[in-house]
């Protein structure tokens, strides 16, 4: 068994299975519901939550196979199993086991920090690991999530006390719901852009309710915190809100000038991806003797793993095939 990088994404050779393919595929494992990981496939393997998010974004999903975590099933000569990835609600890793017992794991986007709104990550023991490397550079080291959320809360209180509208920029699926869940538990009243509010309703449908939130219709009441997606930061939706203060929630907050790039006053390093130390620790914890890094800082992460004595290399951007197992 090997993995091949095709134009639309990765593919397990010798099988009909694609991995997070960006274009329509005959059969695809979809690790989670973010728009850059989904497409209208002929057949889709995913968790029930991911399939629900896909339906919300794309319409009805053809031939969906909803797979619970930790319940192996057969695909030809392979045994497949989905395990929590901790990224967003319903996100999953895929483990494929050959008839001789050799195991390959594809993580998709991964987060190992405890989350209020996503299932806790399970370390997927394997022989070969294919791991995402979004923040795979040594400079990406995130503070503890509770600490970051505490700083966000203090920032909100400061601006509410001076009569300003606190505006938080967060992606509609995952990041916003994580922050909203925390703030709601702390008694804040929330108002959310339609794209974020609709996903919050889906979270409730899937067993993760978020309290104290209403739909934004152009007005923010005193004491409320507004959530909008980052692309709305410079739009007309905020024009009537003054005074206001704007913060963006992103792992890229580690980079200098991140707030300015998002049109915000401040950036908080709240991420639904694993940081560099967590990626290295996770790769070691799987026991993999071979690691393939992909996306983001793949070369930097591979080098760090080689320095730690692990056979690691990036899956390059040009079409290539790497023999696995």
Taking 50 as the threshold, does the pLDDT of residue 325 lie above it? no
Residue in this structure with the two tokens 């869940």, named with its chain if needed: 181
Q: How far apart are the C-alpha atoms of 19 and 37, rounded to whole Å?
A: 9
Q: How far apart are the C-alpha atoms of 257 and 42, rounded to whole Å?
A: 42
* pLDDT score of 1: 56
* pLDDT score of 234: 78
Give CATH 3.40.50.10890 domain extents, the chain: 145-268
Q: Which residues pair with 313 in a beta bridge?
A: 292
Mean pLDDT of the chain: 93
What are the Cα distances from residue 85, in Å, to 58, 180, 274? 23, 21, 10
Stretch 231-238: mean pLDDT = 80
Give CATH 3.60.15.10 domain extents, the chain: 2-139+273-323
| Residue range 10-39, pLDDT digits in tens | 878 778 899 999 899 999 999 999 999 999
* pLDDT score of 316: 58
- 184 touches 210 (CB < 8 A): yes
* pLDDT score of 323: 43
CATH no. of 2-139+273-323: 3.60.15.10
| Residue range 123-167, pLDDT digits in tens | 999 999 999 999 999 999 999 999 999 999 999 999 999 999 999
| Residue range 58-108, pLDDT digits in tens | 999 999 999 999 999 999 889 999 999 999 999 999 999 988 999 999 999
Classified by CATH at the fold level, domain 145-268 comes out as: Rossmann fold (3.40.50)
- 181 touches 120 (CB < 8 A): no
Taking 90 as the threshold, does the pLDDT of residue 226 lie above it? yes
Taking 80 as the threshold, does the pLDDT of residue 175 lie above it? yes
Phi, psi of 79 (to 5 degrees): -110, 125
* pLDDT score of 2: 60
- 142 touches 274 (CB < 8 A): no
Q: How far apart are the C-alpha atoms of 78 and 74, rounded to whole Å?
A: 6
- 182 touches 175 (CB < 8 A): no
């Amino acid at each position: 068994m090997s993995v091949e990088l095709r134009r639309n994404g990765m593919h397990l050779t010798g099988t009909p299975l694609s991995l997070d393919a960006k274009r329509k595929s005959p059969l695809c494992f979809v690790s989670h519901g973010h728009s850059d990981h989904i497409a209208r496939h002929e057949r889709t393997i995913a968790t029930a939550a991911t399939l629900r998010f896909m339906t919300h974004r794309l319409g009805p999903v053809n031939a969906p196979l909803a797979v619970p975590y930790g319940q192996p099933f057969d695909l030809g000569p392979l045994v497949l199993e989905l395990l929590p990835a901790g990224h967003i609600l319903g996100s999953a890793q895929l483990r494929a086991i050959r008839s001789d017992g050799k195991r390959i794991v594809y993580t998709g986007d991964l987060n190992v920090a405890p989350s209020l709104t996503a299932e806790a990550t399970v370390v997927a023991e394997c022989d070969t690991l294919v791991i995402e490397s979004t923040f795979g550079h040594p400079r990406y080291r995130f503070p503890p999530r509770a600490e970051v959320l505490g700083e966000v809360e203090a920032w909100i209180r400061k601006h509410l006390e001076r009569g300003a509208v606190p505006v938080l920029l967060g992606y509609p699926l995952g990041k916003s719901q994580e922050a909203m869940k925390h703030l709601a538990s702390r008694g804040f009243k929330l108002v959310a852009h339609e794209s974020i509010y609709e996903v919050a309703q889906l979270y409730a449908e899937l067993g993760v309710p978020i309290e104290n939130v209403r739909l934004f219709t152009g007005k923010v009441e005193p004491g409320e915190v507004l959530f909008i997606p980052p692309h709305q930061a410079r739009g007309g939706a905020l024009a009537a809100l003054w005074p206001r203060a704007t913060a963006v929630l992103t792992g890229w907050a580690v980079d200098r000038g991140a707030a300015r790039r998002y049109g915000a006053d401040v950036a908080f390093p709240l991420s639904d991806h694993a940081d560099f130390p967590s990626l290295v620790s996770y790769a070691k914890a799987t026991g993999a003797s071979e690691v393939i890094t992909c996306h983001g800082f793949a070369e930097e992460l591979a080098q760090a793993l080689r320095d730690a004595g692990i056979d690691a290399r990036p899956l390059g951007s040009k079409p290539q095939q790497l023999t696995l197992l």
